[in-house]
Amino acid sequence: MDDDRSRRSLPLSGILIADFGRVLAAPYATMLLADLGAEVIKIERPGTGDDTRAWGPPFADDESTYFLSVNRNKRSFAADLEDPADLAAVHELVRRADVLIENFRPDSLARHGLDYDAARSLNPGIVYCSVTGFGAGSGGRLPGYDLLVQAVGGLMSVTGPGPGQPVKTGVALVDVLTGLHAAVGILAALRHREATGEGQRVEVNLLGTLLSSMVNQSAGFTAGDVVPGILGNRHPSIAPYEVFEAADRPFVLAVGNDRQFAALCDVLGLPELVEDPRFATNPARVAQVEQLADRLNARLRTRSAADWYERLTPRGVPCGPVNDLAGAFALAEKLGLAPRVDIGSEDEGISLVANPIGLSATPPVYHSRPPRLGEHTAELRAWLEASKEQT
């Protein structure tokens, strides 16, 4: 099936994934796995496909950049699950697949013979990953949208300019984190199957992912019975760790220890703060965060963000301007991180964000641009028919 010889040495070469995922969390997971060599076949509804194909602007020509962001290295198979011939082809794909991933509401695939039990009967070794908003139990019928989960899951209660002003993150962060958890779960299940020959079900949900990903804030509640609130750009346990005011633009200091604080004060010409008992230790600085911010802002306003960055960075003080995405990509390129990749032919090429995982022996590959709807349906049908004839 895999016609790209360069992928045969990749860590996931030979792994076939039937991708029933839509929108963001599941497609992000399968894109990461595809970058590492897995063969991903994206099953889509004829005529409309993944919902995100219509999400825009922005568009690149006539394609949604939202869809493009999480669907490279995949093949698109347009299949109507209500059509007996299409469903038979999909069942054959499941028989051949190593992994099936889906984010339908619980049990909605059962009437097509594509729920976990049915898939396992077709393919006992399959790794079946379900992505839901609120689990498969009593929350199974709740719609799992990222904004909704940010709200009910507590993230917005600690995010915003101040108390009573909850704000969502600027990207669907919970979906992305859930996709990462799904990928980790799939890899763990594949390793288990390699050792035992047994497939299994992998389940991840947006709410559980968010509660886990809120790390110190969640642990403050579970272990310390502390319900955190909105601190704006401040940190509940570290200071100075927030956005300050340089002469020309916002400027971040992320001082994590007393040594860094001493270096900061030396560069700013405020050595007296190091000996001041109100600021000498991190717990003291957290307790006096307002007074500390006033003293620092008064000095930081005297120079540009670039000037402070050039002075503070060599001294080991974590700092930087608040960049827009153009500035962020420019910084990554300056640091040699190669954040962009160009995929596809000269006529149909697209520039996308690189996979951030570095592997010295088997780095990610980018063999194909995100597919057009149903682009590979004919060749996949032919392959599945040939597969049936061989069995």
Residues 6+ apart with CB under 8 A from 196: none
pLDDT tens digits, one per residue of 263-306: 999 999 999 999 999 999 999 999 999 999 999 999 999 999 99
Residue 391 in this model has a pLDDT that exceeds 80: no
Domains 5-213+338-390 and 241-334 alike in fold: no
Mean pLDDT of the chain: 94
pLDDT bin (cut points 50, 70, 90) of residue 140 is confident
Query: Which band of pLDDT confidence, cut at 50, 70 and 90, is reported for residue 55?
Result: very high
| Structure tokens given for 267 | 């560069």
What is the structure's pLDDT at 390? 66
Tally of CB atoms within 10 A around 116: 22
Buried b (16+ CB within 10 A) or exposed e, 188-199: ebbeebeeeeeb
Mean pLDDT value of segment 256-266 = 97
Q: What is the pLDDT of residue 386?
A: 83
Task: Report the pLDDT value the prediction gives residue 348, as an integer from 0 to 100.
Answer: 79
Question: Percentage of the chain with pLDDT > 70?
Answer: 97
Higher pLDDT among residues 45 and 141, named by residue: 45
5-213+338-390: CATH superfamily = Crotonobetainyl-coa:carnitine coa-transferase; domain 1 (3.40.50.10540)
Residue 155 and residue 209 in contact, taking contact as beta carbons nearer than 8 Å: no
Q: How many CA atoms lie within 13 A of 372 on its CB side?
A: 7
Cis ω for the linkage preceding 58 (within 30 of 0): yes
The b-or-e profile of 45-62 (16+ CB within 10 A means b, else e) is eeeebbebbeeeeeeeee
Where are the domains positioned within the chain? 5-213+338-390, 241-334
Mean pLDDT of 131-151: 92
Residue 5, pLDDT > 50, answer no
CA pair distance 202, 185, nearest whole angstrom: 6
Residue partners of 4: CB distance under 8 A and separation at least 6: 365, 367
Assigned fold of 241-334: formyl-coa transferase, domain 3 (3.30.1540)
Catalytic residue set: 175
Q: Please give the average per-residue pLDDT across 103-111, as a whole number.
A: 88
Question: Is the predicted pLDDT of residue 106 greater than 80, yes or no?
Answer: no
Token pair recorded at residue 137: 């139990």
- Contact in structure between 203 and 130 (CB atoms under 8 Å): yes
pLDDT tier for residue 2 given thresholds of 50, 70 and 90:
very low
* pLDDT for res 8: 63
Please report the pLDDT score of residue 7 as a whole number: 55
Average pLDDT over residues 184-188: 98
The string of pLDDT tens digits covering residues 304-356 is: 999 999 999 999 999 999 999 999 999 999 999 999 999 987 777 899 999 99
What pTM does this model have? 0.92
Identify how many contiguous H helices and E strands the chain contains and give both numbers.
15, 13
